[in-house]
Amino acid sequence: MRGISGFEYRISDKIAELFMQYADEVKTDALGNVIAVKECGKPNAPKIMIEAHMDEIGLIVTSVTDDGFLTFAPVGGVDERTLPSTEVTVHGRHDLKGVIGIKPASMLESGKTVKIKDMAIDIGFGGEKARSLVSVGDSITLAQSVGKLGKKQFSGKSLDDRASVAALITVMKKLQNADLHADVYAVAAVQEEVGCRGAKTAVYGINPDLAIAVDVTHGITPDNSDNAFKVGEGLTISVGPNIHPKMAQRLFDTAEKYGIKAETEIDGGNTGTDAWVMQVSRAGVPTALLSIPLKYMHTSVETLALSDAKAVAKLIERFILDLREDISWLTL
């Protein structure tokens, strides 16, 4: 599945199709957000929005040279250090395989870091043929990799944040025949990677009484253990000014009640997720943030434990099933 920010239409139909199996209604709004609705049928029921973003980081074609090479610009937080020698898919007249090439190390200045402006994509065609297949403005995605890694982990591109979208689909499946006391709006949002745009419009349109954003957080790797979490040891629940304290506490209590592993993640300001814009929409929405620990974020080899994604789905499911019409407990 391939859909960088602004080009999510390549995947939104598939996500809508998956949601449609378990929701009363599925719609796509003007910006491209996919919104699945399950109503409880009870009067004066609260509305809860659960959200994850469907877009991925990627690249966009800026020119096709006379020799057939493609220059490009980043879309979202692309780490240029990871790009040399990367395989990509160029979404031109049809999908084309390409590689990002650079000068051999022996020809570079010692210690020099290659910048995006000095890179180009080779699709194996000369200029005239390349221009017939690729246009300026075509999107480019990183090639898929690996898949299952060991017995418990999974590695590939765009797990940020489609692993969370998969968790929301699982939640809707679990709630399909449940006796609910709230209307549930599951949102696969667009354009998070370029400024949390889809979540902003979706929460404004839905106007929920409370909301849960789901994203990824940094997993511990050999070179990073600060403000990171062990993959395979459960999800994280954020606390801080971006998070409604009673929402966070209710989620901690629910996790403890049902034996779901959860750690505390401290965010002293902007969480850098859709929770940031969801919190301050309209007159304000009590918002929580759940995250899946992820190694190697914003690369083609993002890696997580499937058990952590399942833990997120279970916690949201139990939180919603325990939710009643009276949400006065949210009052600060």
Which of these is catalytic: 8, 51, 56, 192?
192
Backbone φ and ψ for 253, nearest 5 degrees, come out as -65, -40
* Residue 192 annotated as catalytic: yes
Query: Count of CB atoms within 10 A of residue 107's CB?
Result: 7
Look up tokens 């939640």; give the residue.
Answer: 171
CA 160 to CA 163: how far, in whole Å?
7
For residue 139, give every residue at least 6 positions away whose Cβ sits within 8 Å of its Cβ, in sequence order, or none: 4, 6, 7, 10, 58, 59, 60, 61, 75, 91
Stretch (H or E) spanning 12: helix 9-20
157 touches 56 (CB < 8 A): yes
Do 219 and 304 meet the contact criterion of CB atoms below 8 Å apart? yes
CA distances from 72 to 93, 122, 135 (A): 17, 11, 11
Catalytic residues: 192
